[in-house]
Amino acid sequence: MAECCKKRKKLREPDEMRALENRLKRIEGQVRGVRTMLEEEAYCVDVLTQVSAISSALDAFTRQLLASHIRSCVVEDIKAGREDAPDELVDLVGRLIR
């Protein structure tokens, strides 16, 4: 199988999975709330404030997932001798901070 077609997977611990799912559920609720605000013709500033809160929540989710990735996947790859692990991480961080 070509390298580009191999999908890596990550088995997450139950506590980590629960925490990530809880964050996503809260974010989903916030997005639904913004839709409701639009339907109810809420004032632009109020909607934008909620959108900013959603953005912050997504950033927090990203930080949590990135920290977990570094502590587990990157460390395991380096220990296994995968020399491109640091480059992959640098590329990832570059995409995240655009």
The region, left, alpha or beta by phi > 0 then psi within -120 to 50, assigned to residue 41 is left
Tell me how many domains the chain contains: 1
pTM more than 0.95: no
Top-confidence residue, 32 or 5: 32
Q: What is the pLDDT of residue 5?
A: 55
The domain that holds 26 is classified in CATH as 1.20.58.1000
Does residue 33 have a pLDDT over 50? yes
Asked whether residue 2 is domain-assigned, the answer is: no
Find the domain containing 56 and state its range.
14-96
Asked whether residue 9 is domain-assigned, the answer is: no
Pure H helices in the chain: 14-39, 44-69, 75-79, 85-96
Average pLDDT, stretch 62-83? 95
Asked whether residue 63 is domain-assigned, the answer is: yes
Asked whether residue 34 is domain-assigned, the answer is: yes
Asked whether residue 30 is domain-assigned, the answer is: yes
Q: Phi first, then psi: what are they for 80, rounded to 5°?
A: -80, 0
Average pLDDT, stretch 30-52? 98
